[in-house]
Amino acid sequence: MFEADEEKNLIRKIQKGDKEAFGQVYDFYYDKIFRFAFRRTSSQETAEDITSEVFLSAIKSIGRFRYKRNNSFKAWIYQIANNKICDYFRKNYRSPTIELEKAGQLSEKREKSPDAIFAAKSDREEINKVIAQLSGNDQEVVNLTFFEDMKAPEIAEILDCSVNSVYVRLHRALKKLKEFLVID
């Protein structure tokens, strides 16, 4: 993770045309943006396309990016990604789904017994099915909170809403998830 001052210096360099600085930022954020897009689209090809579009948009508009009071580059690039994902679904008229199994391991790799591996896979499949039942907006707030490990102010900036709105959306999404869960 970049320190705040280090990231600001990199962004200034990029704004002055430094391609190496952009490469550092690209290398740091590419996998994160790809996973975010993949969890929403469930398609590796689509996620790759969206990720490419995100960085193309970022490099084209980096000159207009300004640090403000609660503004961060991370939130700005995720906002671009979120907008590209929404554009994708508008064009394709389908509901977003999540496929956590293919999105990569969300926890550290450990040696597990075959029974534990099967149980973990079953749990991920169940989580996938439950989250896929949420609306796209609810999936956004759940993904950003739990899979991207972002705080409410960052999420508010990405989703262009208030921090209170993020808390309300997350509360409602979690309430829906609880209703969808079938506990034996």
The predicted model gives 104-118 an average pLDDT of 45
The predicted model gives 65-83 an average pLDDT of 83
**Confidence band for 182, pLDDT divided at 50, 70 and 90:** low
Give this prediction's pTM. 0.68
**Confidence band for 122, pLDDT divided at 50, 70 and 90:** low
Give the domains, in start order, of the chain with CATH numbers.
4-180 (1.10.1740.10)
**Confidence band for 101, pLDDT divided at 50, 70 and 90:** very low
pLDDT value at 8 more than 80: yes
pLDDT value at 105 more than 90: no
- In three state form, how does the secondary structure of the chain look? CCCHHHHHHHHHHHHCCCHHHHHHHHHHHHHHHHHHHHHHHCCHHHHHHHHHHHHHHHHHHHHHCCCCCCCCHHHHHHHHHHHHHHHHHHHHCCCCCCCCCCCCCCCCCCCCCHHHHHHHHHHHHHHHHHHHCCCHHHHHHHHHHHHCCCCHHHHHHHHCCCHHHHHHHHHHHHHHHHHHCCCC
Q: 170 near 142, Cβ under 8 Å? A: yes
**Confidence band for 46, pLDDT divided at 50, 70 and 90:** very high
What is the pLDDT, as a whole number, of residue 104? Answer: 44
